[in-house]
Amino acid sequence: MEAFSDGVFAVAITLLALNLVVGGPDHGSLFHKLLHQWPVFAAYGVSFFTIGIIWVNHHALFDLMNRVDRPMLYLNLLLLSFVVAIPFATTTLADYLRDSGTSGTTAGVLYAGVMEGMSLSFTLIFVHGLRTDLLIAAPPPEERRAAVLRFGLGSVAYLVVMLLSLVGPVATLVGAGLLAGYYVFQRTPDAPGDVPGI
């Protein structure tokens, strides 16, 4: 399952860069065109590292399982269905990043919504791993509720990012970027076998 998931993560993260396009040499200075394209580059950066973080945490979580069952395979597919939608949500957010009206908010909600779906699927995978005997080094029953809450923090955070879309799409992107930065630089496992969600 890891090989397939790795493949999907790798293709999705690389397809992100298909959005990086500037017109041909007919339409003015390349430098200004690149500057004008900053939303595309900013959205690319945030999405690239978000997919990267999920991939890192995905490995950390599945390394704690010796085997998987069929429901786990389908929960993993659910997660991947959101991962695969990230390039689409990213392009749309970049396209509408200068839109201060309703469409800008819609683009932000779409982006944060895909991230939320991904985050919730990942929490479902964790919960299913806890309930069955798939997850080794699982915390004792009395600590599981706390572990799930800690794991599911990302799902709450992306709800906040979704609310930021009311301010505008730039706020959504900054929120998602800060969240990604937090996971890269700050979020450390609290205990052996404690995998950060997202």
- Cβ proximity to its own copies: between 25 and 141 the closer is 25
Interface pick for its own copies out of 42, 45, 139, 182 (rule CB under 8 A) = 45
d(CA 27, CA 79): 41
Burial class (CB in 10 A: 0-12, 13-18, 19+), 153: middle
Q: Pick the closer one to its own copies by CB: 73 or 145.
A: 73
Figure out which of the listed residues 36, 38, 63, 74 binds its own copies, where binding follows CB under 8 A: 74
Stretch that binds its own copies, among 54-62, 115-123, 128-136, 159-167 (CB under 8 A): 54-62
Contact 54, 122 (CB under 8 A): yes
Among 42, 56, 124, 148, contact with its own copies (rule: CB under 8 A) = 56
Is there binding between residue 17 and its own copies (CB under 8 A)? yes
Residues in CB range of 151: below 8 A, 6 or more apart: 123, 126, 195, 196, 197
Site string for its own copies, 81-120 (x = CB under 8 A): x--xx-xx--xx--xx-xx--xx--xx--x----------
Query: Which range binds its own copies by CB under 8 A, 77-85, 116-124, 145-153, 159-167?
Result: 77-85
Q: Write 18-22 long-range contacts (CB < 8 A, 24+).
A: 18/87, 19/43, 19/44, 19/87, 19/90, 19/91, 19/94, 20/44
Q: Given candidates 42, 65, 69, 77, which one binds its own copies under the rule CB under 8 A?
A: 77
Partner residues linked to 135 by β-bridges: 65
Of 89 and 135, which CB lies nearer to its own copies in the complex structure? 89
Q: Which residues bind its own copies (CB under 8 A)?
A: 1-4, 6-18, 20-22, 24-25, 29-31, 34, 45, 48-49, 52, 55-56, 59, 70, 73-74, 77, 80-81, 84-85, 87-88, 91-92, 95-96, 98-99, 102-103, 106-107, 110, 184
